Amino acid sequence: MIITRFAPSPTGHLHLGNLRSCFLNWIFAKKNKGKFILRFDDTDKERSKDEYVTSINSDLQWLKIDYQETFFQSKRVDRYDELFDKLIEKNLVYPCFESNEELEIKKKLQLKAGKPPIYDRQSLNLSKEEIEKKIINGEKPYWRFKLSQKKISWTDLVKGSTEVDLSSQSDPVLRRADGSYLYHFPSVVDDIDMNISHIIRGEDHLSNSAVHSEIFQSLGSNTPSFGHNPLMLNEDGTKISKRNLDSISINQFRSKGYTINSILSYMYSVGLNSDFDFQKIVDNDFNDFELSKISKNLPKLDIQKIDFFQKNSLRLLTNTSLNDEFPELSQLKITNNEWELIRDNIDNYEDIGGYLDIIRRNKIENKPSKEFIDILVKNSEKIKNMNFDEYIDFLSDPNLNLTKKEIFTNTRYFLTGNNNGPSVKDLFIFFGVEGIEKIINEFKTF
């Protein structure tokens, strides 16, 4: 069975960058009738916040990205300790005692000598007696995993043939001196215990995946299949930084009235080499999805594309689905006729209230000319029973001395009092005999 996972750190809100990997894992599992797991990497006690756990859960539920199980790494420390002891027994990890300052000095000396800043494995030379003496003297070791320094290769689900040379990597620190774990070890242990079959994540994890491959093997487990999607860049081609994450958070898009389908459609379309079919997102149809179709190039953030999907998504909503998507709009009591009239004019969420004000005559900014009103009032009995074409023909009589532009502009002002709005013909039909008669009566005192 295919099992994938999304493992965010609850140190911030969900945003377009990390949602990308979440989305790919989700639809890959969905397409293959597999299982999708949400796992919170919350071992960093200082930075992990319950409010972000709540926020991430809320955003995923809003997006209807369903997950079958939820795990918290902070609740699994005993399991990590148990398996870490086995690595110690196998001599696959080793204790180190350098301070951060000492490590920084080593790094600077290596760079100055033109060498890559790789840990020199000096602690491997410590004898058992030397280690015991340091511990007796109150020095607490941190622990590194001993890499094979071989080349690790695999067929990546996105990138194809991939190779990472571990000789260019420092032996990774798995456990800090205070006994807490860094990212690598809990991630691998969880993937083993949860039977994760496929790991799809950003290509910044390529070297991590090679390291994890060896940790999987050291724990007697098969390595899952890896897929590394290109990282999303800012619109100007720069890296997305922590400073601008709030501006692309899902929370921000929700607060601005973006639809679920506009966000999911954008996620699906990012880096897609083939034509994108918006209707497939609407229908929740991912059968054509293939990781191998994802472009190897770094995609740029494209808010205009999200806005394009937003416009299409809004215009596909029925009055019922509009209220389902935006429950707060139910207080506006939008009728089916009103929504049908304004729907094809809507580009964004803010337009909805604006167009409602126009067709409900709540935004009177312009009035028709007095001459035009005199004609309508004088001929009200005839006009109120005319269809639109008859109405235009009547007002086009040369004796009335009105241009086509004057007819349409003054009719728009007469019906809505506004420069903008749906077509004059659609407005005329919408107001109907009773509505037009009512408006004419309002203008009789004009």
pLDDT digits (tens, 9 = 90+) for 192-228: 999 999 999 999 999 999 999 999 999 999 999 999 9
Q: What is the pLDDT of residue 312?
A: 94
Please check the confidence at residue 242 and state whether its pLDDT lies above 80. Answer: no
Residue range 299-330, pLDDT digits in tens: 889 999 999 999 999 999 999 999 999 999 99
Q: Could you tell me the domains of the chain?
A: 361-443 (1.10.10)
Using CA atoms, how far residue 244 sits from 32, 251, 381, in Å, is 35, 13, 62
Between CA 198 and CA 30 the distance in angstroms is 13
Per-residue confidence band for 241, with pLDDT thresholds at 50, 70 and 90: confident
Return the pLDDT at 279: 79
The Cα–Cα gap between 423 and 223 comes to 61
Structure tokens at 384: 């109120």
Residue 357, token pair as written in the block: 């004000």
Question: How confident is the model at residue 243, as a pLDDT?
Answer: 74
pLDDT recorded at residue 272: 76
Amino acid in position 396: S
Q: Is the pLDDT of residue 273 over 70?
A: no
List the structure tokens of 150: 């071989």
HSE on the CB side for 302, CA within 13 Å? 17
**Cα 230 from Cα 202, distance rounded (Å):** 6
* Percentage, residues of the chain above pLDDT 90: 79
